[in-house]
Amino acid sequence: MSTVKNVALRFRDGTTRSVAVPHGESVLDAALAAGVPLIHQCRSGSCSSCTARLAEGQAGMRAGASSTLLRSEYEAGERLLCLIEPETDCTFDLNYESDAGAGRAVKVNAFVDSVEKVAPNVVRLTLELAEGETFDFKPGQFIQVRVPGTDIVRSYSPASTAAELPKIELLIRLLHDGVMSGYLEHRAARDDVLELEGPYGSFFLREKVRAPHIMVAGGTGLAPILSMIDTIRNTSGRKPPVMLSFGCATPDTLFCLDDIALREQWLPGLSARISVDRGATGDLLSGNPVDAIREDDAMHADTVAYLCGPPAMIEAATRRLAQIGVRPENIYAEQFAPSN
Ligand code: FES
Protein backbone atom coordinates (compact mmCIF):
# COMPACT_ATOMS: atom_id res chain seq x y z
CA MET A 1 0.00 0.00 0.00
CA SER A 2 1.30 3.46 -0.90
CA THR A 3 2.57 5.52 2.04
CA VAL A 4 1.72 8.68 0.12
CA LYS A 5 -1.95 9.62 -0.15
CA ASN A 6 -3.39 11.94 -2.75
CA VAL A 7 -5.54 14.66 -1.24
CA ALA A 8 -7.79 16.92 -3.30
CA LEU A 9 -8.58 20.30 -1.75
CA ARG A 10 -11.71 21.83 -3.28
CA PHE A 11 -12.17 25.57 -2.72
CA ARG A 12 -15.49 27.35 -2.78
CA ASP A 13 -14.71 29.09 -6.08
CA GLY A 14 -14.40 25.72 -7.86
CA THR A 15 -10.60 25.56 -7.80
CA THR A 16 -9.18 22.15 -6.83
CA ARG A 17 -5.57 21.66 -5.72
CA SER A 18 -4.03 18.20 -5.35
CA VAL A 19 -1.43 17.48 -2.72
CA ALA A 20 0.62 14.34 -2.05
CA VAL A 21 0.65 13.73 1.70
CA PRO A 22 3.44 11.43 2.95
CA HIS A 23 2.79 9.08 5.87
CA GLY A 24 3.26 10.89 9.19
CA GLU A 25 2.55 14.35 7.81
CA SER A 26 -0.61 16.40 8.32
CA VAL A 27 -2.66 17.56 5.35
CA LEU A 28 -1.97 21.17 6.37
CA ASP A 29 1.82 20.73 6.50
CA ALA A 30 1.88 18.96 3.13
CA ALA A 31 -0.37 21.57 1.53
CA LEU A 32 1.66 24.53 2.83
CA ALA A 33 4.88 22.86 1.70
CA ALA A 34 3.34 22.51 -1.76
CA GLY A 35 2.42 26.21 -1.80
CA VAL A 36 -1.33 25.74 -1.35
CA PRO A 37 -2.50 28.77 0.68
CA LEU A 38 -4.68 27.18 3.36
CA ILE A 39 -5.95 29.36 6.18
CA HIS A 40 -4.28 28.35 9.45
CA GLN A 41 -2.74 29.75 12.60
CA CYS A 42 -1.76 27.55 15.58
CA ARG A 43 -0.96 24.33 13.66
CA SER A 44 -1.76 22.43 16.86
CA GLY A 45 -5.55 21.96 16.91
CA SER A 46 -6.49 24.82 19.18
CA CYS A 47 -7.66 27.68 16.93
CA SER A 48 -10.02 25.91 14.45
CA SER A 49 -8.72 28.09 11.61
CA CYS A 50 -7.86 25.13 9.39
CA THR A 51 -11.30 23.51 9.36
CA ALA A 52 -12.34 21.61 6.22
CA ARG A 53 -15.08 19.11 5.45
CA LEU A 54 -14.12 15.55 4.52
CA ALA A 55 -16.13 14.78 1.36
CA GLU A 56 -14.51 11.51 0.24
CA GLY A 57 -12.11 9.02 1.77
CA GLN A 58 -10.97 8.44 5.32
CA ALA A 59 -8.76 10.59 7.48
CA GLY A 60 -8.07 10.21 11.19
CA MET A 61 -6.47 12.34 13.85
CA ARG A 62 -2.74 12.10 14.45
CA ALA A 63 -1.93 9.95 17.49
CA GLY A 64 -2.20 11.91 20.73
CA ALA A 65 -3.82 14.96 19.11
CA SER A 66 -6.80 16.64 20.74
CA SER A 67 -9.17 18.80 18.74
CA THR A 68 -11.41 21.75 19.57
CA LEU A 69 -14.10 20.56 17.15
CA LEU A 70 -17.54 19.97 18.60
CA ARG A 71 -18.91 16.44 18.35
CA SER A 72 -21.64 17.66 15.97
CA GLU A 73 -18.99 19.25 13.73
CA TYR A 74 -16.91 16.07 13.64
CA GLU A 75 -19.97 13.97 12.86
CA ALA A 76 -20.83 16.38 10.03
CA GLY A 77 -17.43 15.65 8.46
CA GLU A 78 -15.50 18.66 9.78
CA ARG A 79 -11.79 18.03 10.28
CA LEU A 80 -8.83 20.15 11.37
CA LEU A 81 -6.27 19.83 8.61
CA CYS A 82 -3.35 20.43 10.99
CA LEU A 83 -4.26 17.27 12.94
CA ILE A 84 -5.40 15.01 10.13
CA GLU A 85 -3.47 12.26 8.42
CA PRO A 86 -5.21 10.66 5.45
CA GLU A 87 -5.75 6.89 5.66
CA THR A 88 -6.89 6.70 2.01
CA ASP A 89 -6.90 9.14 -0.89
CA CYS A 90 -9.25 11.93 0.26
CA THR A 91 -11.18 14.96 -0.89
CA PHE A 92 -11.76 17.95 1.42
CA ASP A 93 -14.08 20.90 0.81
CA LEU A 94 -12.87 24.27 2.02
CA ASN A 95 -15.45 26.89 2.82
CA TYR A 96 -13.49 29.78 1.34
CA GLU A 97 -12.13 30.94 -2.01
CA SER A 98 -8.76 29.75 -3.27
CA ASP A 99 -7.11 33.14 -2.70
CA ALA A 100 -8.48 33.72 0.82
CA GLY A 101 -5.47 32.16 2.57
CA ALA A 102 -2.91 34.02 0.51
CA GLY A 103 -2.65 37.01 2.87
CA ARG A 104 0.10 36.63 5.44
CA ALA A 105 -0.21 37.47 9.11
CA VAL A 106 1.97 40.39 10.17
CA LYS A 107 3.16 41.79 13.50
CA VAL A 108 2.30 45.41 14.20
CA ASN A 109 2.33 47.79 17.17
CA ALA A 110 -0.69 49.77 18.29
CA PHE A 111 -1.30 52.43 20.94
CA VAL A 112 -4.08 52.21 23.49
CA ASP A 113 -6.57 54.94 22.69
CA SER A 114 -9.26 54.22 25.28
CA VAL A 115 -10.41 51.57 27.73
CA GLU A 116 -14.10 51.74 28.52
CA LYS A 117 -16.20 49.37 30.61
CA VAL A 118 -19.40 48.80 28.63
CA ALA A 119 -20.81 46.15 31.01
CA PRO A 120 -19.69 44.87 34.42
CA ASN A 121 -17.67 42.16 32.66
CA VAL A 122 -16.91 43.65 29.22
CA VAL A 123 -14.35 46.26 28.17
CA ARG A 124 -14.26 48.12 24.88
CA LEU A 125 -10.57 48.57 24.04
CA THR A 126 -9.85 51.05 21.27
CA LEU A 127 -6.42 50.93 19.66
CA GLU A 128 -4.65 52.92 17.00
CA LEU A 129 -1.95 51.42 14.82
CA ALA A 130 1.45 53.04 15.23
CA GLU A 131 2.39 55.39 12.43
CA GLY A 132 3.59 53.54 9.34
CA GLU A 133 2.19 50.20 10.56
CA THR A 134 -0.45 48.53 8.45
CA PHE A 135 -2.29 45.27 8.08
CA ASP A 136 -5.57 44.04 6.68
CA PHE A 137 -8.29 41.71 7.90
CA LYS A 138 -11.64 40.39 6.79
CA PRO A 139 -14.69 41.09 8.97
CA GLY A 140 -14.87 38.23 11.49
CA GLN A 141 -11.19 37.25 11.50
CA PHE A 142 -9.20 37.49 14.71
CA ILE A 143 -5.92 39.02 15.80
CA GLN A 144 -3.59 38.06 18.62
CA VAL A 145 -2.71 40.62 21.25
CA ARG A 146 0.27 40.21 23.56
CA VAL A 147 -0.51 41.17 27.14
CA PRO A 148 2.00 43.94 27.95
CA GLY A 149 4.85 42.81 30.19
CA THR A 150 4.20 39.11 29.51
CA ASP A 151 4.70 36.52 26.78
CA ILE A 152 1.00 35.65 26.88
CA VAL A 153 -1.14 36.27 23.82
CA ARG A 154 -4.90 36.39 23.60
CA SER A 155 -7.10 36.23 20.49
CA TYR A 156 -9.84 38.75 19.75
CA SER A 157 -11.94 39.54 16.71
CA PRO A 158 -12.22 43.28 16.01
CA ALA A 159 -15.69 44.82 16.28
CA SER A 160 -14.45 47.43 13.81
CA THR A 161 -13.72 46.95 10.11
CA ALA A 162 -10.55 47.25 8.03
CA ALA A 163 -12.00 50.45 6.56
CA GLU A 164 -11.67 52.05 10.02
CA LEU A 165 -7.93 51.35 10.32
CA PRO A 166 -5.73 52.69 11.88
CA LYS A 167 -8.44 52.47 14.60
CA ILE A 168 -9.23 49.00 15.93
CA GLU A 169 -12.00 48.29 18.41
CA LEU A 170 -12.06 45.14 20.53
CA LEU A 171 -14.72 43.89 22.95
CA ILE A 172 -13.04 41.91 25.70
CA ARG A 173 -14.74 39.85 28.36
CA LEU A 174 -13.24 40.36 31.80
CA LEU A 175 -12.39 37.14 33.58
CA HIS A 176 -11.62 36.67 37.25
CA ASP A 177 -7.82 36.29 37.42
CA GLY A 178 -7.55 36.66 33.61
CA VAL A 179 -4.14 37.96 32.54
CA MET A 180 -5.52 40.39 29.96
CA SER A 181 -8.37 41.27 32.32
CA GLY A 182 -5.88 42.19 35.05
CA TYR A 183 -4.00 44.43 32.62
CA LEU A 184 -7.17 46.14 31.41
CA GLU A 185 -8.64 46.66 34.87
CA HIS A 186 -5.53 47.78 36.73
CA ARG A 187 -2.71 48.87 34.45
CA ALA A 188 -3.89 49.86 31.00
CA ALA A 189 -3.28 53.51 30.15
CA ARG A 190 -3.67 55.65 27.07
CA ASP A 191 -0.63 55.41 24.76
CA ASP A 192 0.51 52.02 26.09
CA VAL A 193 2.01 50.05 23.19
CA LEU A 194 0.49 46.66 22.40
CA GLU A 195 1.89 44.07 19.99
CA LEU A 196 -0.66 42.62 17.59
CA GLU A 197 -0.34 39.77 15.12
CA GLY A 198 -2.80 38.75 12.45
CA PRO A 199 -5.13 38.36 10.77
CA TYR A 200 -6.07 34.75 11.41
CA GLY A 201 -9.09 32.52 10.97
CA SER A 202 -11.53 31.25 8.40
CA PHE A 203 -14.57 32.78 10.13
CA PHE A 204 -15.22 35.80 7.96
CA LEU A 205 -18.04 37.36 5.99
CA ARG A 206 -18.59 35.99 2.48
CA GLU A 207 -19.27 39.42 1.06
CA LYS A 208 -20.87 38.61 -2.27
CA VAL A 209 -23.75 36.61 -0.80
CA ARG A 210 -27.10 38.38 -1.15
CA ALA A 211 -29.29 35.69 0.46
CA PRO A 212 -30.71 36.38 3.95
CA HIS A 213 -28.19 36.29 6.80
CA ILE A 214 -28.83 34.91 10.29
CA MET A 215 -26.28 36.13 12.83
CA VAL A 216 -26.19 34.66 16.31
CA ALA A 217 -23.94 36.14 18.99
CA GLY A 218 -23.45 35.24 22.63
CA GLY A 219 -21.64 37.75 24.86
CA THR A 220 -18.51 39.22 23.28
CA GLY A 221 -19.15 36.98 20.27
CA LEU A 222 -20.96 40.13 19.16
CA ALA A 223 -17.65 41.75 18.14
CA PRO A 224 -17.02 39.98 14.80
CA ILE A 225 -20.72 40.13 14.03
CA LEU A 226 -20.70 43.94 14.36
CA SER A 227 -17.72 44.05 12.00
CA MET A 228 -19.66 41.95 9.48
CA ILE A 229 -22.79 44.09 9.80
CA ASP A 230 -20.80 47.28 9.23
CA THR A 231 -19.14 45.73 6.20
CA ILE A 232 -22.53 44.81 4.74
CA ARG A 233 -23.74 48.33 5.49
CA ASN A 234 -20.79 49.90 3.68
CA THR A 235 -20.85 47.59 0.67
CA SER A 236 -22.37 49.12 -2.43
CA GLY A 237 -25.35 47.52 -4.12
CA ARG A 238 -28.25 45.50 -2.81
CA LYS A 239 -27.83 44.42 0.80
CA PRO A 240 -29.02 41.09 2.20
CA PRO A 241 -31.63 41.03 4.98
CA VAL A 242 -29.87 40.38 8.29
CA MET A 243 -31.43 38.93 11.43
CA LEU A 244 -29.18 39.45 14.45
CA SER A 245 -29.88 37.42 17.59
CA PHE A 246 -27.73 38.59 20.49
CA GLY A 247 -27.89 37.46 24.08
CA CYS A 248 -26.26 37.74 27.49
CA ALA A 249 -27.05 36.30 30.92
CA THR A 250 -28.95 39.22 32.48
CA PRO A 251 -30.08 42.72 31.42
CA ASP A 252 -27.20 44.43 33.27
CA THR A 253 -24.61 42.34 31.36
CA LEU A 254 -25.91 43.41 27.92
CA PHE A 255 -23.75 45.90 26.04
CA CYS A 256 -23.56 47.74 22.71
CA LEU A 257 -27.37 47.98 22.51
CA ASP A 258 -27.08 51.57 21.26
CA ASP A 259 -24.61 50.44 18.59
CA ILE A 260 -27.07 47.78 17.46
CA ALA A 261 -30.00 50.24 17.44
CA LEU A 262 -27.96 52.69 15.34
CA ARG A 263 -27.17 50.00 12.82
CA GLU A 264 -30.86 49.12 12.58
CA GLN A 265 -31.44 52.71 11.50
CA TRP A 266 -28.54 52.73 9.07
CA LEU A 267 -29.29 49.31 7.57
CA PRO A 268 -33.05 48.94 7.07
CA GLY A 269 -32.71 45.21 6.31
CA LEU A 270 -31.27 44.58 9.79
CA SER A 271 -33.56 43.39 12.58
CA ALA A 272 -32.23 42.57 16.03
CA ARG A 273 -33.58 40.29 18.74
CA ILE A 274 -32.02 40.76 22.16
CA SER A 275 -32.32 37.97 24.73
CA VAL A 276 -31.35 37.43 28.33
CA ASP A 277 -31.29 34.14 30.20
CA ARG A 278 -32.82 35.72 33.31
CA GLY A 279 -34.76 38.84 34.23
CA ALA A 280 -36.17 39.85 30.83
CA THR A 281 -38.21 43.05 30.88
CA GLY A 282 -39.67 45.32 28.19
CA ASP A 283 -38.61 44.33 24.66
CA LEU A 284 -36.02 41.82 25.85
CA LEU A 285 -36.70 38.19 24.98
CA SER A 286 -36.42 35.56 27.67
CA GLY A 287 -34.00 32.74 26.84
CA ASN A 288 -30.79 32.46 24.87
CA PRO A 289 -30.09 33.78 21.36
CA VAL A 290 -30.73 30.33 19.88
CA ASP A 291 -34.26 30.26 21.35
CA ALA A 292 -34.95 33.47 19.40
CA ILE A 293 -34.37 31.79 16.01
CA ARG A 294 -37.75 31.25 14.35
CA GLU A 295 -38.99 28.67 11.88
CA ASP A 296 -39.46 31.29 9.15
CA ASP A 297 -35.95 32.78 9.48
CA ALA A 298 -34.70 30.39 6.78
CA MET A 299 -37.44 30.69 4.16
CA HIS A 300 -34.78 31.25 1.49
CA ALA A 301 -32.92 28.10 0.36
CA ASP A 302 -29.55 29.91 0.31
CA THR A 303 -29.82 31.48 3.78
CA VAL A 304 -26.40 31.82 5.41
CA ALA A 305 -25.64 31.90 9.12
CA TYR A 306 -22.76 33.25 11.19
CA LEU A 307 -22.44 32.11 14.80
CA CYS A 308 -20.02 33.37 17.41
CA GLY A 309 -20.12 32.51 21.09
CA PRO A 310 -19.46 29.76 23.60
CA PRO A 311 -19.29 26.14 22.37
CA ALA A 312 -22.69 25.16 23.83
CA MET A 313 -24.36 28.04 21.96
CA ILE A 314 -22.65 27.09 18.70
CA GLU A 315 -23.73 23.47 19.09
CA ALA A 316 -27.35 24.42 19.87
CA ALA A 317 -27.51 27.02 17.10
CA THR A 318 -26.10 24.60 14.53
CA ARG A 319 -28.76 22.03 15.43
CA ARG A 320 -31.54 24.62 15.36
CA LEU A 321 -30.44 26.04 12.00
CA ALA A 322 -30.34 22.55 10.48
CA GLN A 323 -33.89 21.98 11.78
CA ILE A 324 -35.20 25.07 10.03
CA GLY A 325 -33.43 24.20 6.77
CA VAL A 326 -30.14 26.11 6.67
CA ARG A 327 -27.64 24.03 4.69
CA PRO A 328 -24.60 22.89 6.75
CA GLU A 329 -22.16 24.39 4.24
CA ASN A 330 -23.84 27.79 4.73
CA ILE A 331 -23.22 27.83 8.49
CA TYR A 332 -20.02 29.56 9.61
CA ALA A 333 -19.10 29.38 13.26
CA GLU A 334 -16.44 30.61 15.63
CA GLN A 335 -16.52 29.28 19.15
CA PHE A 336 -14.60 30.88 21.97
CA ALA A 337 -13.69 29.50 25.31
CA PRO A 338 -12.37 31.82 27.98
CA SER A 339 -8.71 31.36 28.82
CA ASN A 340 -7.05 32.31 32.06
S1 FES B 1 -4.25 25.70 12.48
FE2 FES B 1 -5.20 26.01 14.42
S3 FES B 1 -6.53 24.29 14.58
FE4 FES B 1 -5.39 23.89 12.79
The domain limits of the chain are 4-93, 106-200, 213-335
- Fold designation for 106-200: Elongation Factor Tu (Ef-tu); domain 3 (2.40.30)
Task: Encode the chain (340 residues) as per-residue pLDDT tens digits.
Answer: 568 999 999 999 999 999 999 998 999 999 999 989 899 988 888 888 899 999 999 998 877 777 778 888 888 889 999 999 999 999 999 999 898 887 778 999 999 999 999 999 999 999 999 999 988 999 999 999 999 999 999 999 999 999 999 999 999 999 999 999 999 999 999 999 999 999 998 899 998 889 999 999 999 999 999 999 999 999 988 899 999 999 999 999 999 999 999 999 999 999 999 999 999 999 999 999 999 999 999 989 999 999 999 999 999 999 999 999 999 889 999 987 655 4
Per 3-state DSSP, the chain is made up of helix, strand and coil in percentages (nearest 5) of 20, 35, 45
Predicted local confidence at residue 80, as pLDDT: 94
Q: What is the CATH number of domain 4-93?
A: 3.10.20.30
Beta strands, E only, the chain: 4-10, 16-22, 51-56, 59-61, 78-80, 84-86, 90-93, 106-119, 122-129, 142-146, 153-156, 167-173, 193-200, 213-218, 242-248, 270-276, 285-286, 304-309, 331-335
Phi/psi class of residue 251: alpha, beta or left (left: φ > 0; alpha: ψ in -120 to 50)? alpha
Question: 28 C-alpha to center of ligand 1: Å?
Answer: 9
Question: 253 C-alpha to center of ligand 1: Å?
Answer: 31
Question: 252 C-alpha to center of ligand 1: Å?
Answer: 35
Q: What is the CATH number of domain 213-335?
A: 3.40.50.80
Q: What is the CA radius of gyration of the chain?
A: 20
- Edge-to-edge order in the sheet of strand 331-335: 285-286, 270-276, 242-248, 213-218, 304-309, 331-335
**Residue 47 alpha carbon, nearest atom of ligand 1:** 2
Predicted local confidence at residue 6, as pLDDT: 96
Q: Which residues line ligand 1 (CB under 6 A)?
A: 40-43, 45-50, 80, 82
